[in-house]
Structure 1
Amino acid sequence: MAAGGLRTWALALSLALAGATAALAQDSGSGDESARKPVTPERWAVHLQGTDILQYYPRFTAPYAGTNSFRAGPAWGNTVDATLYAGLRPWAGGEVWGNLEMYEGYAPSNTLGAAGYVNGDGAKVGRAHAYARIARLFVRQTVDLGGEADDQDADLNQLAAHRSKDRLVFTAGKLNVTDIFDTNKYAHDPREDFLNWSMIAAGSFDYAADAWGYTYGATGEWYAGDWTWRGGIFDLSNVPNNAVLTSDFHQFQLVGEAERRFTWNGHPGAVRLTGFLTRGNMGRYDDAVALAQRTGAPADTALVRRYASRPGLHLGFEQEVADGIGVFGRLGADDGRFESYEYTDIDQTAQAGVSVSGARWGRKEDTAAVAAVVNRLSRPGQRYLDAGGLGILVGDGKLPHPGAEEILEAYYSVALAKDIHLTLDDQLVVHPAYNRDRGPVNVIGLRLHLQH
C-alpha cells in the first residue's frame, strides 16, 4: 500500500461511519430506504468512496525506451483515493453537489506507456503524499414534463426523488464530462468495473478535462419516452494535457449525444451516438514532423500549435442478454491529423465485452467480466512518434514498426461485506504505445473499494 495508505483507509472508514450516522439521522430516508417503491425523496445526503489499487507487471521485451515508455520492469504501482460526496436539495427539482477528493501514490511507470493505460483511476499527477482537491461542485435542475413516473434512486451525486419519464435536466459547474456522456452500465467506472483507461469511455473520446479528469461546463438533457438528447459546452486546459483550465472558455469543447433505450426479449439495453468538437490551440502532427526535419530536433507539437477544430464521433451500446449477463461495445474515431488534446493518444478504437453477475452462482454481489480493446493511432500520429514526438501517455523515442495496441482485460469482483469489494484484475497489453518492438506487458492488479 502507498505511504500513508493505512491512514487514508482509517480516514475513509471514519467518514463512512459519519455518513452512516447522518443517513440514519435524516428524516428524508437513504440507504435501504432508497429501495422502497415509490422512493422517498431526499433533502440531503452524504456518501463516501475509497479505492486502493495495487498493480504489478514482470519484465518484458523492450529493446529501447523513450520518455513516455513503460519501464521494462519488473514494476509496481499503488494508487489510493477517497471521495466525500455531499448533496442537498435547496428547492423543488434542484440539487447541489460538492465532492472533496484525496489522491496518493503512483500508477505503474507513473501513468505512462500505453494509450489504453492500465489504471483508469490513477490521476496523471501522482504524488508520494496525500493531497486533496475539490473534484466536483455543480448544480442540477430537473423539470418534469409529465408522463409516467421514473423515480430516481439515491446514488453518488444523486438524491432520491420523484420524477417523470419525460423531463428536462440542466447541469452546470465543475464535473466530469463522462458523468453525463458515453455512460455504460458495464464499462464506465475504474473503481468498480474495468480498470483500463480506454474502457471508461470510448478511447477516441478526447473529452475536456484537467489532469484529474474534471472541467467546468454546462449541459442540457431532454428525456422523451425512450429517447434522450444531450448537449454541453466545456472548458479546455490552457494547453493540451495540462492541469490548468482556461479562465474564459476561449478554448472549449462542444459535446452532443443521442440515446435510445429499448428492451430485447424482455431485457434492457441502450444505444448511444456521441460526437464532440474541440476548438483550441493544437498542433498538427505533420507540421511538427516537418519542423523536426528542418531543425534536426525531436518532433514537438507544442512548437506548431494554432487555433483549430478537432471533431470525433463514436457509437456505444449495452444490452442485457439474460438475467445477470450483459454485453457492451464501443466504436469510435476522431480527427487524427491533430494531437489529442486532453484524454489519451487514441484516434480509432473498438471494444467489446461481457459482464456476468455472481447471482448466477449464488453470489449476487460479485461480478466477473472480460473485454477486448483495439486502439489505433493515425498515420500522421505514427510519423510523429517515429520522429521522437511525445503524446499524452505514449512516446518511445521512435516508432519504426507501428501497429494497433491490443488489450485484453478480465476481472473478478468479490463482495467482502455490504459496502466493500475486492477485485482481482489482469490486463494483457500487446504492442503498448502502438510499438511492435516492445511488449507484451501483463499487468496484474488488486483493487479494494469501499462505497457507502
Structure 2
Amino acid sequence: MPILTLFKHLRDDVVSMTKRPVLTPLLLLALCAPPALAQDAPTPAAPATEPVTIFPHPDAARYFVAGQANIILQGHTPFHSPYEGDNSFLSRGEYKTSLVGTLFMGFQVVRNPRWATDILVDEESAGGRGDSEALGLAGFTNLDVVRNPSLGSTPYLARYELHQVIGLSSKNVDVERTPFSLETSLPERRLEFHFGKMGLPDFLDQNSIGTDSHLQFLNWTTDNNGAWDYAADTRGYTTGMVAEYTDHAFTLRYALAMLPTVPNGIDLDTSFRRASGQNWELEHRHEALPFLPKRKGAVRLLGYRNQANMGVYRTQNQLFLAGKTATPDIDAHALHPTVKYGFGLNAEQELTENLRIFGRFGWNEGQHESWAYTEVDQTIEFGGDYAMKDLLHRANDKAGIAFVTNAIKRDHQAYLKLGGKGFILGDGNLDYAREDILEGYYNLHAWRGVFYALDMQFIEHPGYNQARGPVPVGSIRMHVDF
C-alpha cells in the first residue's frame, strides 16, 4: 500500500475530530503510526473472529490451561560516553536475547457467580539476559528481563492464588475470562479477594494500551508507572492479598504485600509488621464523554506506602562529605524501618474505533532509596495505539507510540553524582538531566496465536546523565499464545 494512501486512511479516520477543538492537539498522535511497516503488509482481510491462540480455550470448561512464550532479541549501537561506572549502560554495541515462558492453570471450585471460587497456579521460566545486565537505565528497555541473571532459567512457581467472589447484587454482567479470574459472568456489584503469590501489576495500574510487554510496549516505565515502587522480588512477584469492590462504573482496590529483605532481592520479608507494601487504587470507567459519545475510557488513581529497611539519600551524602565513609552507600546504615510513599494517575480513552490514547503520571517522595522496582521519583507518560483493522484490513495488527520522561529528586541526584550506586544506576558521576524515552512498535499477527513485533526505543540522557548518550535500542519480538 503506498505511503500516501496509508496516511489518507488515517487522516479520514480522525478528520471528524477536528471539529471538536478540545481534540485538536491529539491529531499529532494519530499521524505518528509507523508508515514504513505498512508497505509490505499483506492485503487480504482477516476475519474479525480469527483465533489468537494456537489451541482453543473453551469458556464453559471448569478448568483453564493456557501458555505463552515471549522471545525478545534486543540490541543497541555504540554511543557517546566519556566515562562509565559499575552500573552504567554499556556504551559499546551489544545485543542480548530473553525468553519467558509461562504455563497458566486454573480450576473453578465453585461455579455459582455469586460465590465463585478459583484456584490458580502458574509455572514460569525466565531465561536470557538484558543489555548491560539490565543496569544503567531507570526506564530499562525490556520488561521481561530478570535483573539477577545468576538465577538462571530453571522453572519456578510464579503464582499460586485463591480467588474468591462474594456477590452483592442479583444482576449479573458479562466479564472476560483471564488467567486470574475464570468466570465469564459475575454480579455487577461484588467483592473479590485474591490470596497467595502474585504480581501486583496483574491488578493495579492496569492499562489496556500500555501494560503488556508481550503484545505492546517493552520499556519498564512505558508498561508500568516507574514511580510506583511496588512490592516484588527480583522476578516481579510477591506474596499477599488484593481486595476489590466493584460497582457499575468504578472499582476500589486494596493490596497488602511482602517486600524484599534487601533492595531488589529474591527473598521476601515475611513479617508484615517489619516490612510491607500497602496499595490503594480507585478506578472509574465511563462509556462516553460529552465530546466523545459512545467511546469508552477509564481513570485510575493509585497510592502506595512502603515500609522497609530503606536508607536515606541525604544522610549518606552527608556522611560521605564529612569524611566518614569512603563512598556514599545507601545500604550502609543500621537496621531501621522507614516509610516511602507516592501516588500515580493512569488514564485511557478511545477516540475512534481504532485509535486510543493513554497517559500516566507518578510521584514519590524520593528521600528514601528505591527498593523494589526501579530508580524513578517522578514520571510523565503519554501515547497511544492504532488498530490496523480498517487501514490495512488486518484485524489483530496494532501500532503504538509513547513518550516517557523520568526524574529523580535532588538528594538522589547528589548521591549518584558523588559516586553512589543504587541497584540499577551508578555511572560514578552524574551530569543530571531527565531521562527521556521515545518508544514505538508494530505488532503483526502472523497466524492464530503467533505474533511478531518490531520495537524501537530512543533514550536521551540514559541513567539521568546528559554526559552520556543518546542511545537507540532496537528489538525483534516473537510471541506465541498456546
State whether TM-score is above 0.5. yes
Partner residue of 1:382?
413
Counterpart pick for 2:133 among 107, 110, 122? 110
AA of the residue aligned to 2:213: P
2-structure distance, mates of 1:176, 1:402? 32
2-structure distance, mates of 1:197, 1:117? 6
Counterpart pick for 1:239 among 256, 262, 270? 262
Q: C-alpha displacement at 1:248, in angstroms? A: 2.4
2-structure distance, mates of 1:242, 1:208? 11
2-structure distance, mates of 1:379, 1:394? 15
Counterparts in 2 of 1:160 and 1:417: CA distance versus 1, 3 Å: farther
Larger % of strand: which?
Answer: 1
Deviations 1:140-161 (A, max 9, x none): 1111222543223323333143
2-structure distance, mates of 1:439, 1:245? 36
- Write the mapping of 1:209-228 to structure 2, written as runs, cut at 5 A: 209-228=232-251
Q: C-alpha displacement at 1:324, in angstroms? A: 1.6
Secondary structure at 1:178 match in 2: helix
2-structure distance, mates of 1:299, 1:448? 42
Q: C-alpha displacement at 1:20, in angstroms? A: 6.9
- Write the mapping of 1:310-389 to structure 2, written as runs, cut at 5 A: 310-361=340-391, 362-389=393-420
Deviations 1:313-344 (A, max 9, x none): 01110111100211000011001111111000
Secondary structure at 1:238 match in 2: coil
Does the 8 Å CA contact 1:152/1:159 hold for their aligned counterparts?
A: no
Partner residue of 1:27?
none
AA of the residue aligned to 2:259: L
Counterparts in 2 of 1:349 and 1:20: CA distance versus 1, 3 Å: closer
Counterpart pick for 2:102 among 76, 83, 100? 83
- Residue 262, structure 1, aligned to residue 286, structure 2: yes
Partner residue of 1:442?
472
Q: RMSD over aligned Cα, in angstroms?
A: 1.5
Counterpart pick for 1:121 among 134, 140, 144? 144
Query: TM-score, length-normalised on structure 2?
Result: 0.84
Q: C-alpha displacement at 1:304, in angstroms? A: 2.5
Counterpart pick for 1:63 among 72, 78, 82? 82
Counterpart pick for 2:302 among 268, 274, 298? 274
2-structure distance, mates of 1:20, 1:436? 46
Secondary structure at 1:290 match in 2: helix
Counterpart pick for 1:167 among 190, 193, 208? 190
Q: C-alpha displacement at 1:296, in angstroms? A: 4.9
Does the 8 Å CA contact 2:75/2:95 hold for their aligned counterparts?
A: yes
Identical positions, percent: 32
- Residue 428, structure 1, aligned to residue 458, structure 2: yes
Does the 8 Å CA contact 1:415/1:421 hold for their aligned counterparts?
A: yes
Counterparts in 2 of 1:126 and 1:375: CA distance versus 1, 3 Å: same
Counterpart pick for 1:299 among 317, 320, 328? 328
Q: C-alpha displacement at 1:127, in angstroms? A: 5.0
Does the 8 Å CA contact 1:184/1:318 hold for their aligned counterparts?
A: yes
Deviations 1:116-160 (A, max 9, x none): 000011111225953111110111111122254322332333314
Deviations 1:199-222 (A, max 9, x none): 222110000000000000111100
Deviations 1:167-224 (A, max 9, x none): 1100110000111111000001111211000122211000000000000011110011
Does the 8 Å CA contact 1:429/1:440 hold for their aligned counterparts?
A: yes
1-structure distance, mates of 2:196, 2:148? 22
Q: RCO higher in 1 or 2 (8 Å CA, sep ≥ 6)?
A: 2
1-structure distance, mates of 2:343, 2:401? 25
Q: C-alpha displacement at 1:166, in angstroms? A: 1.1
Secondary structure at 2:174 match in 1: coil
AA of the residue aligned to 1:290: Q
Partner residue of 1:287?
315
2-structure distance, mates of 1:135, 1:146? 33
**May I ask how many residue pairs the two structures share in their alignment?**
418
Does the 8 Å CA contact 2:106/2:179 hold for their aligned counterparts?
A: no
2-structure distance, mates of 1:147, 1:315? 32
Unaligned 5+ segments in structure 1 are 1-18, 24-30, 35-39
AA of the residue aligned to 2:91: A
Query: TM-score, length-normalised on structure 1?
Result: 0.90
Does the 8 Å CA contact 1:107/1:122 hold for their aligned counterparts?
A: yes
Does the 8 Å CA contact 1:105/1:127 hold for their aligned counterparts?
A: no
Secondary structure at 2:463 match in 1: helix
Secondary structure at 1:286 match in 2: helix
Segments of 4+ moved more than 3 angstroms = none
Secondary structure at 1:331 match in 2: strand
Deviations 1:104-126 (A, max 9, x none): 11111111110000001111122
AA of the residue aligned to 2:266: A
